[in-house]
Structure 1
């Protein structure tokens, strides 16, 4: 799969408005009782607002004209109590709906985050991390107004619009027709804007994603940038991306801003038509003053929900692009999943077997070709060979980060495809060349291998791999906080902490993938002692280009061209004078020439 770069717009699948709305509304099901309470509160507020002009009509026509002060006082008190309760109901429903919205956003973000963690390596290889972060953070946040407005704005405003229209038609049919005569033109204008506006908001979110990805990549590689004094060049690239994002935003907003003038102009024209026609009807004696005053009040109430619905529609269009980007990731199926009837992997004893295993990537490249071997529990197997020969692929298949296209990978006689992934990987320890440490204390970094480990267990693991001595020399010992990726520590120190973490986890199968390639000779001696502690009593696979680190392995497998071309102990392979012998001699010849 081709990688989407930080400066390349993402290709998204277009979804229908109905599909997006239907899917978003499913998140409200869990909170249907709270939403129902919110709707009931809004109906009460809406009823009060609708009733106010009618009560005003009664006060003018029945009480003021008749000089009925007592009746006027009663209706005044009634309206005051009615509106005070409406104020309380309005505050309550806003707080309740805000709580529902925040919980929904939390659920969507957690669902998205959990789903991304299950996706295969190819997903992360095909796009920058910054673009993934943009969806988890920015795009999810963009849905807040949409969920809030869908219940607190759209539903009550639609009900208000219907109720006001019913009241207006019941009061005077001709005036009501005059009031809504401009609506068809308004609807046509808004639909036309929506078609273009959505495309522009999609473009803006793509440009924002590019900027986010570039910023993340730039800061992650800040050492390289500063080493090559590339600050000015990266600043120019950043400025260009920001300008593209700004231009896309302005383009989208400029079109969106047409919503309000169109609604306001339509409202003004509609009101002028009602005023003009009501004057004619009053002159003909066909309406009372109270009816005209009430109708003018209702005209305002009729256009206010139209304005708010337009606002919601505008929010909908603005955030459809965010919803599309979220659903696009949620709809990517994980390549590696536990089968329906997968069994829990029992405690691993350590036997590993490859039966006629063939594996290749999507582009058709064959990495492993009919590989067969058996490993006994507790054996240490070294995998050597040229870059791209298939060494890392073998250990990835054991951990089931990929599935073989042909053949079987068996652990303790069980096909790894038939067991639960978590129960399999939880019994494995994988250490890579690039050791990752978290931005926390050394104690917590080691404890990551066993979250419920005591301080004594952590210290014992560090002592076992010869990490205790250098840790105690640090400013705060085990409570020393390391930076992200452990940049305050040397490569060897980070590796020793990683070994302590792995030892604490007590994996049944251990995989070391070039774990000692960047370590100096002095530190390597400490690391080798740590490795011996790690390897003892567990099945281990060690990938190493530095052949001096694997001389004591029980078996060495030479991988070349996707096949095992040689297999045996160090002495056996040296005496064989084949591929391993050539690798070993060429490496030491290079070192001697350098000396």
Structure 2
């Protein structure tokens, strides 16, 4: 859906966010009214000064009116200050509320949504698009209201003073209104294109910066630079359109205003020369101000309307995200207790894409306290089991239960609190090691973290870093090696004291010392709790209480290491001799 300049439903939805700030909202309108009155009053006082005191050489009266105009000017400045300040303040408060709502809404989305949504686009919606909404209030809505009120006040004063001269200005206004309307429509289309190109640029830059290592490894710098030049050129062309329309409109508006002023002066001067008693030199002085005050707001309304359009387009994009119904369904009402760890998959089917099943009716039982290793080729469905157990995705058929209760009956937050995951691709925030471990959970103290680190054998490694637990690992943990990041992830899982532990325990490309730490950490945190391990190494497979072998979405074998090795031509036996054993010997 494309945003309209006067999409009333969209505008009403934006105004809903002003409800908590209604006193300030009405205060801004009140200052807009006072501003328009004081602005229109100054030319009137100038007429009185010229006609009643300057022409009659009345110095005392002249001084009084000069002082009176000074007071009116101060009141106008006072109104202008509070009008601008409160309008911008209101806009920023509304932006804060919408941004908080949008971010919380995005955090509730299922993983399925993030599989397809460009990260750069979401960043654009959350930052620049929302900031543009603030300009609806700071540079758009209230400015238009103020300008319209100023025009009304000026017209009332003009007709009260001299209706003959006023009609000249009124007859010229439809021409300017018509030109303004054409300009507004053109700018609406241009701004829509600008926002589209900004989103495309943000998405492109976000992906290339994140994947810079791949870009450089495969010598893609020149190719990616060329692609960026194309995107950047489209962005430039979109902005050039807005510049062109502005360059055409404002000179035309100035010409119309100047011609109207010339017509008023010519006609008014002739009236005075012909002895018309209703037209004075004070009128000519006053109308030179009135014409500017009447036409400049009309011209500026078009400019402010541009801001409204940009804000409405941005609001439409933001509300599109807010209207997405991709939240994980909070179907449960039961607080998950401290899990014993009995897990049952019964007839579970699942597909990421419709009609392309990844899990094809599996039955799997894990007893409390067991360590179960899941092995299989890439794409067999191993990682999908992790995703389903945490309800990152919803199953198509069957059921998954923990301790005899369907996981959909547990409150989602309490379910995930009882399950800790260590992924192969560890994500760390640009923060200290301590905060990456606790994730700013106030219930986990520094002493608990240190104690846990000593238990799993990573305390000395952390203390060897500059600043120890206060060492900032930078974005995505780039200051640490992959093995070190995984050690931090183990500690993060351990301090949360989960009932169920899930490990993707890949340790490829790590040195011997780090691998020993990871093996020790694995043994410590899996001891005495239900653990599901996507196994990549022979040592983990051999020590598991049960091995589950997956292939193309099916469980093809289950048993201990020795039991499965005893099956001639078995899937696990072939995997053992072709992969696990080869890897062990190579080391």
The alignment's TM-score, normalised by the length of structure 2, stands at 0.91
Match of 1:576, SS? Answer: coil
Which of 279, 286, 294 is 2:286 aligned to?
A: 294
Asked if structure 1 preserves the Cα contact closer than 8 Å seen for 2:162 and 2:279, the reply is no
Asked if structure 1 preserves the Cα contact closer than 8 Å seen for 2:42 and 2:72, the reply is no
1:14 aligns with 2:5: no
Match of 2:531, SS? Answer: strand
Asked if structure 2 preserves the Cα contact closer than 8 Å seen for 1:348 and 1:412, the reply is yes
Superposed CA deviations along residues 556-583 of structure 1, whole A, max 9, x for unmatched, are: 2222232222222222222234222222
Asked if structure 2 preserves the Cα contact closer than 8 Å seen for 1:353 and 1:410, the reply is yes
Could you say if the C-alpha distance between residues 470 and 66 of structure 1 is closer, same or farther in structure 2, counting changes exceeding 3 Å? Answer: closer
Residue 149 of structure 1: aligned partner: 139
Residue 430 of structure 1: aligned partner: 421
Of stretches 30-39 and 190-199 in structure 1, the one that deviates more from structure 2 is 190-199
Match of 2:17, SS? Answer: helix
Whole-angstrom distance in 2 between the partners of 1:381 and 1:594: 25
Residue 47 of structure 1: aligned partner: 37
1:139 aligns with 2:134: no
Could you say if the C-alpha distance between residues 509 and 480 of structure 1 is closer, same or farther in structure 2, counting changes exceeding 3 Å? Answer: same
Whole-angstrom distance in 2 between the partners of 1:591 and 1:288: 103
Asked if structure 1 preserves the Cα contact closer than 8 Å seen for 2:169 and 2:291, the reply is yes
Residue 249 of structure 1: aligned partner: 239
Residue 311 of structure 1: aligned partner: 303
Asked if structure 1 preserves the Cα contact closer than 8 Å seen for 2:4 and 2:312, the reply is no
Match of 2:543, SS? Answer: coil
Asked if structure 1 preserves the Cα contact closer than 8 Å seen for 2:159 and 2:166, the reply is yes
Residue 500 of structure 1: aligned partner: 491
Residue 115 of structure 1: aligned partner: 105
Residue 369 of structure 1: aligned partner: 360
Shift of 1:365: 0.6
Could you say if the C-alpha distance between residues 162 and 417 of structure 1 is closer, same or farther in structure 2, counting changes exceeding 3 Å? Answer: farther
Residue 556 of structure 2: aligned partner: 565
Residue 215 of structure 1: aligned partner: 205
Shift of 1:247: 2.2
Whole-angstrom distance in 2 between the partners of 1:454 and 1:592: 39
Residue 6 of structure 1: aligned partner: none
Asked if structure 2 preserves the Cα contact closer than 8 Å seen for 1:517 and 1:544, the reply is no
Match of 2:566, SS? Answer: helix
Which of 388, 393, 410 is 2:401 aligned to?
A: 410
Whole-angstrom distance in 2 between the partners of 1:313 and 1:588: 67
Asked if structure 1 preserves the Cα contact closer than 8 Å seen for 2:457 and 2:521, the reply is yes
1:190 aligns with 2:183: no
Superposed CA deviations along residues 80-114 of structure 1, whole A, max 9, x for unmatched, are: 22322332232233222222222222222222222
Shift of 1:301: 1.8
Mapping for residues 466-545 of structure 1, pairs under 5 Å: 466-520=457-511, 522-545=513-536
1:390 aligns with 2:378: no
Could you say if the C-alpha distance between residues 194 and 73 of structure 1 is closer, same or farther in structure 2, counting changes exceeding 3 Å? Answer: closer
Could you say if the C-alpha distance between residues 43 and 258 of structure 1 is closer, same or farther in structure 2, counting changes exceeding 3 Å? Answer: same
1:580 aligns with 2:548: no
Which of 86, 101, 112 is 1:96 aligned to?
A: 86
Could you say if the C-alpha distance between residues 518 and 363 of structure 1 is closer, same or farther in structure 2, counting changes exceeding 3 Å? Answer: farther
Which of 313, 317, 329 is 1:325 aligned to?
A: 317
Shift of 1:56: 2.6
Residue 237 of structure 1: aligned partner: 227
Whole-angstrom distance in 1 between the partners of 2:402 and 2:256: 73
1:169 aligns with 2:159: yes
Over the aligned positions, Cα root-mean-square deviation in angstroms equals 2.7
Whole-angstrom distance in 1 between the partners of 2:19 and 2:84: 19
Whole-angstrom distance in 2 between the partners of 1:500 and 1:93: 54
Whole-angstrom distance in 1 between the partners of 2:308 and 2:463: 57
Superposed CA deviations along residues 285-326 of structure 1, whole A, max 9, x for unmatched, are: 152313443344322221122122122112223444333332
Mapping for residues 431-446 of structure 1, pairs under 5 Å: 431-446=422-437
Shift of 1:63: 4.2
Whole-angstrom distance in 2 between the partners of 1:262 and 1:107: 40
Whole-angstrom distance in 2 between the partners of 1:254 and 1:103: 34
Superposed CA deviations along residues 155-214 of structure 1, whole A, max 9, x for unmatched, are: 111111122223323334443332122332323323333333222222222223333223
Asked if structure 2 preserves the Cα contact closer than 8 Å seen for 1:357 and 1:368, the reply is yes
Could you say if the C-alpha distance between residues 43 and 583 of structure 1 is closer, same or farther in structure 2, counting changes exceeding 3 Å? Answer: same
Match of 1:182, SS? Answer: helix
Could you say if the C-alpha distance between residues 375 and 152 of structure 1 is closer, same or farther in structure 2, counting changes exceeding 3 Å? Answer: same
Where do 5+ consecutive residues of structure 2 fail to align? Answer: none
Match of 1:457, SS? Answer: helix
Shift of 1:401: 0.5
Whole-angstrom distance in 2 between the partners of 1:558 and 1:152: 66
Whole-angstrom distance in 2 between the partners of 1:431 and 1:588: 21
Whole-angstrom distance in 2 between the partners of 1:278 and 1:140: 50
The alignment's TM-score, normalised by the length of structure 1, stands at 0.90
Asked if structure 2 preserves the Cα contact closer than 8 Å seen for 1:466 and 1:496, the reply is no
Could you say if the C-alpha distance between residues 581 and 69 of structure 1 is closer, same or farther in structure 2, counting changes exceeding 3 Å? Answer: same
Of stretches 143-152 and 514-523 in structure 1, the one that deviates more from structure 2 is 514-523
Shift of 1:398: 1.0
Match of 2:349, SS? Answer: strand
Shift of 1:62: 3.8
Whole-angstrom distance in 2 between the partners of 1:59 and 1:400: 78
Superposed CA deviations along residues 111-142 of structure 1, whole A, max 9, x for unmatched, are: 22222222222332224322322222222233
Asked if structure 2 preserves the Cα contact closer than 8 Å seen for 1:449 and 1:501, the reply is no
